[in-house]
Chain A
Amino acid sequence: MASAPMFSRAIGLPARLALYGLASLALMVVDSRYDAMTAFRTGSVALIHPVQAALARPFEYLGEAGEFFTVHGALLQEKRQLEAERERLATLLQGYLDLQGENARLRAILQLTPPPLVEPMAARITRVLPDPFARKLVIDRGSADGVEAGRPVVDVAGLIGQVTEVYPNSSIITLLTSKDQAAPVQDQRNGLRLIVSGTGSDNLLEVRYLDMHADLKPGDLLTTSGIDGAYPPGIQVARVLSVEQPRQTPFARAICQPVGLIGQHRYVLILKARNNAP
């Protein structure tokens, strides 16, 4: 034992690397296979969120100061447009209330169960996560506001994604355009049921395994069918751009454009289950 080091007070570097590497790998396995990290995540996000919000504040003020100097005329014009839009919506809404009543009566006659009631809640996007694997946004509403994982997220135009992680005062939305996201939809023209999935690009969605002879044409509007229980029916999702005929595979593929303005908004709506639902 004469060759023992004089000051052996620490384990060697490669051994430490192996130790830390194994620990990290174990963490990754535990995190990807089991739900063991959720509690830790919730805690750490609750700690980090206030710091993040404080850091983002000066940039928000800057943005607002920039908006302050926008031309007065543009604002007036926008106001007029919004007023016209509101009038149009108000007239539409009257018809809608009427229709909703009629629909309820018809459903009662047919003895169908009522559709799940949803309540929209506005949320502000605070951050975009630099995640190379999925498209994720952080919003400023969390479990304290009644957000639940799995709730659909829409904007003024259509569906944009789903709440995937919920923390006390913030949640994470995974956009529909992420590659692993999908939504069951229905063609508005003929009721054809399909599944539309993300492609990883901000302005493209696709219908992957489409029947070769399916009646789907460019320009068709796809809305959620509501049969998966996650998305309520009738939310606009995408418009078909083109249908590619199959070459080697037995399936056709349709390219669609999302209706929601993905990547262009500061505010989104979460469709929350209504508390006093019957």
Chain B
Amino acid sequence: MPLNTEKPLVPQGPQLIAPAPRRLVYASLVLGYLCILLPWPQGMLWLVPDFTLVVLLYWVIHAPHLAGLGLAMALGLLTDATLGGLMGQHALTYTVTAFLVIHLRRRLENFEVSGRALHLAPIFLGQQALFLILGLVFRLPDADWRYLVAGLSAVLCWIPLARLFDRLTGWTNEMHIEPAAK
């Protein structure tokens, strides 16, 4: 059996060279969460992305020692409490999403922002679909399938956000090829 490399004690690889400051991770997650609380106009609610998840998925890739399944679950519960849906509905979709991204993490590190976003698109879309299906399974009579679009707008939001965070942490996708040169 190999070492438990999913959540190393010490940041490894790119995370060692360009570590994500703990403060930045948590502050950006809080900001993402506050974006959900903003009074969005009623007509466009179905395309407002889930900002918490957008930020979370960046840090799941780039700060795996800080953002993992536990954080995803906690944020999901917070979102559930905020939006007044079924308790655990966001928690489950966030956890599943984070799990998939953790599995893809090593691969994603090799890609530019656009490449990473292309990988994340089906994941964001699947998260919305899972959310809607869970609602149908549990009690809710009427799912508004327009909300699937929120998955796509989440990817569109993720791209500029990832560029910003890449610049803030100094992370590039060539970095881990020659870590000694840095």
Chain A residues packing against B (C-beta within 8 Å):
3-10, 12-14, 16-17, 20-21, 23-32, 37, 40-41, 44-45, 48, 51-52, 55-56, 59, 126-134, 136, 165, 172, 178-180, 200, 263
Question: Of B84, B134, B139, which is in contact with the most chain A CB atoms at under 10 Å from its CB?
Answer: B84
**Chain A residues with CB under 8 A of B108:** none
**CB-contact partner of A5 in B2, B39, B46, under 8 A:** B2
**CB-contact partner of B6 in A13, A28, A126, A127, under 8 A:** A13
A-facing residues in B83-103 (Cβ within 8 Å) = 83-89, 91-92, 95-96, 99, 102-103
Contact A134:B142 (CB < 8 A) given known A7-B3, A55-B34: yes
Q: Does A55 lie within 8 Å of B39, measured CB to CB?
A: yes
Assembly CA distance A134 to B4 (angstroms):
43
Assembly CA distance A115 to B129 (angstroms):
47
For the A-B complex with A24-B88, A25-B88, A51-B37 known, give 13 more contacts whose Cβ atoms are closer than 8 Å. A10-B4, A13-B6, A13-B99, A17-B95, A21-B95, A21-B96, A25-B92, A27-B88, A29-B138, A32-B138, A132-B145, A134-B140, A180-B140
Contact A200:B142 (CB < 8 A) given known A24-B76, A28-B92, A132-B147: yes
Q: Does A41 lie within 8 Å of B96, measured CB to CB?
A: no
Q: B81 in the interface, Cβ–Cβ < 8 Å?
A: yes
**Chain A residues with CB under 8 A of B86:** 28, 31-32
> Which 4 residue pairs spanning A and B have beta carbons closest together?
A27-B88, A133-B140, A179-B142, A24-B92
Of all chain A residues, which has the CB nearest B83?
Answer: A129
Q: Does B4 lie within 8 Å of A37, measured CB to CB?
A: no
Q: Does B95 lie within 8 Å of A179, measured CB to CB?
A: no
The smallest C-beta distance from B14 to any residue of chain A, in angstroms, reads: 20
The smallest C-beta distance from B54 to any residue of chain A, in angstroms, reads: 15
The smallest C-beta distance from A228 to any residue of chain B, in angstroms, reads: 19
Q: Does A7 lie within 8 Å of B39, measured CB to CB?
A: no
Assembly CA distance A134 to B99 (angstroms):
29
**Chain B residues with CB under 8 A of A8:** 4
Q: Does B132 lie within 8 Å of A132, measured CB to CB?
A: yes
Interface CB pairs A-B, < 8 A, 16: A4-B1, A5-B1, A12-B4, A13-B102, A20-B73, A20-B91, A20-B95, A23-B91, A24-B91, A28-B92, A31-B88, A41-B87, A55-B39, A126-B39, A129-B84, A133-B144
Q: Does A128 lie within 8 Å of B140, measured CB to CB?
A: no
Assembly CA distance A45 to B82 (angstroms):
7
Q: Does A165 lie within 8 Å of B4, measured CB to CB?
A: no
The smallest C-beta distance from B30 to any residue of chain A, in angstroms, reads: 10
**Chain B residues with CB under 8 A of A12:** 4, 6
**Chain A residues with CB under 8 A of B37:** 48, 51-52, 55
Q: Does B84 lie within 8 Å of A21, measured CB to CB?
A: no
Assembly CA distance A204 to B35 (angstroms):
32
Assembly CA distance A45 to B69 (angstroms):
25
Q: Does B85 lie within 8 Å of A24, measured CB to CB?
A: no
**Chain B residues with CB under 8 A of A28:** 86-89, 92, 134, 138
**Chain A residues with CB under 8 A of B140:** 133-134, 180
Q: Does A32 lie within 8 Å of B139, measured CB to CB?
A: yes
Q: Does B39 lie within 8 Å of A131, measured CB to CB?
A: no
Q: B159 in the interface, Cβ–Cβ < 8 Å?
A: no
Q: Does B91 lie within 8 Å of A133, measured CB to CB?
A: no
**Chain A residues with CB under 8 A of B84:** 41, 45, 129, 131, 136, 165, 172
**CB-contact partner of A56 in B1, B38, B89, B102, under 8 A:** B38
The smallest C-beta distance from B141 to any residue of chain A, in angstroms, reads: 4
